[in-house]
Amino acid sequence: MEIVVPWKCHVCLKDFDELSGAICSRCGKATCELDLNLVDYKEKDGAARIDQIVCNKCLKEGEKFIKFEKRFLSKSSWGRIFGI
């Protein structure tokens, strides 16, 4: 995977010069950590799935979610998720 730095969050339009975000599973666009959510995630179930990572723009009304945090992911998935 090619890593492109700097990059811009498609939600807040802020420029980033470090790898600190993920790709939304619905729209496929680069998103900063502050604009990401985990949909239908329960910490007791273990690591979050990649398809649970959803940006603020793609979040549907009434969906249960928590704000995104790296600690909810398995360390083995960080390279795929944070390689914007």
In a domain, 82, yes or no: no
Is the full-model pTM beyond 0.95? no
In a domain, 14, yes or no: yes
Count the alpha carbons within 13 Å of 56 in the hemisphere toward its beta carbon. 11
pLDDT tier at 84, thresholds 50, 70, 90: very low
- The structure tokens 């273990």 sit at 46
In a domain, 17, yes or no: yes
In a domain, 59, yes or no: yes
In a domain, 30, yes or no: yes
| Total number of domains in the chain | 1
In a domain, 39, yes or no: yes
In a domain, 63, yes or no: yes
Token couple for 70: 């790296």
Is the distance from CB of 16 to CB of 7 less than 8 angstroms?
Answer: yes
What are 21-60's pLDDT values in tens digits? 888 999 999 999 999 999 999 988 888 888 999 999 999 9
The whole domain housing 48 covers 7-73
